[in-house]
Amino acid sequence: MTELTKLTISEIRAGLRAKDFTALELTEAYLSEIEKANGKINAYVAVTADKAREMARASDERIAQGEARPLEGVPVGVKDLFATEGVHTQACSHILDGFKPPYESTVTANLWNDGAVMLGKLNMDEFAMGSSNETSYYGPVINPWRADDSDRDLVPGGSSGGSAAAVAAQLCAGATATDTGGSIRQPAAFTATVGIKPTYGRCSRWGIVAFASSLDQAGPITRDVRDAAIMLKSMASVDLKDTTSVDVPVPDYEAALGQSVKGLKIGIPKEYRVDGMPAEIEALWQKGIDWLRDAGAEIVDISLPHTKYALATYYIVAPAEASSNLARYDGVRYGLRVPGKDIIEMYENTRAAGFGREVKRRILIGTYVLSAGYYDAYYVKAQKVRTLIKRDFDLAFEAGVDAILTPATPSAAFGIADETLHNDPVKMYLNDIFTVTVNMAGLPGMSVPAGLDSKGLPLGLQLIGRPFDEETLFRVAHVIEQSAGRFEPKRWW
């Protein structure tokens, strides 16, 4: 039975078609694994066992009728940020205690319409704010990967830590996730999984609990590049209920795999070579460059001069938008309510008790930079710098670059409850230094596992593409994956 959970989405597709096993057997195998492992990994905050079995049975019927849809019978986990009808949806926050939406997010509706099976909701940093999945109301997620020389619990990255850990620990065949500053790509890099944040507007944000509306984007985390292509094709759609959703046809991303990268121009931005960057990361980047050059791509040095300001810009724009989006959590219509002598006190008590420290920090920063007297100096200024950051990329693409290659993270996964990171918020934020630029510019970005560090921990490479050119990312990522190989954690749980 355990062998079934080893299969990738494309292998499941073939296996179900060949009647090697049933969708119900596959779902039962996953439910059994989750029961054994979740106490140690803490990837799931809600398991929808009955619903999963019901969906799997329906998939088996369709397969028997010869009517299998693209994801028929594939068991997936859903980040707790997506509204799933009648099912726990709390963005892993205390303030949304008990919330069960009476509607389904567009992205998950797309997956169920394509036959996927829902195993449950996945742990995440509260309101998607974090890079380690340590801010969740449900406690941290433990990375299935451990350093060779240590038993220490490591973070899986964040905010989509539950999604990445579940995929890496084979507790689902694939997972949905979201990315606002790196929350798909960084945990993917920390867990040797593939994560893609598509172009802003590619996937509908309707039904996704909003953090920063001009940055949020949904995407899949999977075990390999092919699976990511399969899942993204189902997740993406134009949606009239999301005015930022763009009406561009969804291509068959899988068809891009195996296409030659001969003659493609791959940009290497010098500003991503930061001070104090570990030699191992630099070496991995160089390996990636060599693999692509060997495959016939042309390597081009480029400059993205405003790179170094991206993180500061992000930490003004994102909290500002968050302070607005999180104003709705007031104890009136849903979730936690803490009483007060009057309505203002009720708001203040509810929000003080309901939000965690990191969320409060970001709401306060956001409120401050939007407040009278500071709006121009901070928010407007940041939005102007954002234009410059985007322009850097536009110029590089106009000059003929097809994709950009950078490291995904400045380090491998770090320890849970790391003292220095906890006492210094800015140090934690630096985890996103290579990823935030991509959200600022609205571009597609993918993290591909590329190697292990000297302690045996995963490291990823990031590919950044032109708007709506995810196909080129899949094409290039496949080449990197073929060269680098697949990496799986040694089971300690």
Partner 1 sequence: MSVDTETVKRVAKLARIAIDDEAASRMTGELNAILGFVEQLNEVDVAGVEPMTSVIPMAMRMRADEVTDGNKAADIVANAPAQADNFFMVPKVVE
Among 1, 14, 64, 364, binds partner 1 (CB under 8 A): 364
CB of 316 vs partner 1, minimal distance in Å? 6
* Residues present in the chain in total: 493
SS (HEC) of 290-306? HHHHHCCCEEEEECCCC
Least separation in angstroms between CB 367 and partner 1: 4
Beta carbon nearer to partner 1, 58 or 346? 346
Tell me: does residue 348 bind partner 1 (CB under 8 A): yes
**Residue 490 catalytic?**
no
String marking each residue 283-312 x if it binds partner 1 according to CB under 8 A: -----------------------x-xx-xx
One residue of 346, 395, 415, 456 binding partner 1 per CB under 8 A: 346
Q: What is the largest CA-CA distance in the chain?
A: 70
**Identified binder of partner 1 from the candidate list 195, 335, 458, 465, rule CB under 8 A:** 335
**Binders of partner 1 in range 192-251 (CB under 8 A):** 199-201, 214, 240, 243-244, 246
- CB neighbour list of residue 237: distance below 8 Å, 6 or more residues apart: 106, 110, 203, 204, 245, 250
Across 330-356, b (16+ Cβ under 10 Å) vs e yields bbeebbbbbeeeeeeebbebbbeebbb
Structure tokens at 466: 């032109």
Among 316, 401, 416, 450, binds partner 1 (CB under 8 A): 316
> Of 256, 269, 179, whose CA–CA distance to 219 is shortest?
179
Per CB under 8 A, the list member of 25, 361, 455, 493 interacting with partner 1 is: 361
Q: Which of 93, 183, 237, 447 is catalytic?
A: 183
> Does the active-site annotation cover 454?
no
CB of 130 closer than 8 Å to CB of 356: no
Q: Residue 82: beta bridge partners?
A: 208
User: At 193, phi and psi to the nearest 5?
Assistant: -115, 170
Choose the catalytic residue: 59, 159, 160, 204. Answer: 159
Query: Phi then psi for 265, rounded to 5 degrees?
Result: -95, 120
Distance separating alpha carbons of residues 370 and 211, to the nearest angstrom: 16
Site for partner 1 contains 334 (CB under 8 A): yes
Among 32, 383, 411, 483, which residue interacts with partner 1 (rule: CB under 8 A)?
383
User: Look-up: residue for tokens 């749980």?
Assistant: 493
Closest CB to partner 1 among residues 79, 337? 337
Which residues face 116 on adjacent strands?
Answer: none
Element (H, E) at 373: none
Give the active site residue among 79, 197, 233, 265: 79
Q: Which of 15, 278, 410, 425 binds partner 1 (CB under 8 A)?
A: 425
Output 276 or 485, the one with its CB closest to partner 1.
276
**Residue 386 within binding range of partner 1, rule CB under 8 A:** yes
User: Does 183 participate in catalysis according to the annotation?
Assistant: yes
Closest CB to partner 1 among 279 and 344? 344
Q: Which of 35, 148, 290, 424 binds partner 1 (CB under 8 A)?
A: 424
Regarding 410 and contact with partner 1 (CB under 8 A), the answer is no
**Size of interface with partner 1, in residues (CB under 8 A):** 73
Name residues contacting partner 1, limited to 429-468 (CB under 8 A): 429, 442, 467
Residue by residue, DSSP assigns 199-225 as -TTSS--TTBPPS-TTT-EEEEEESSH
Q: Does 151 bind partner 1 (CB under 8 A)?
A: no
User: With binding defined as CB under 8 A, does residue 397 bind partner 1?
Assistant: no
Residue 5: which of 45, 141, 15 has the closest Cα? 15
Active site residues: 79, 159, 183
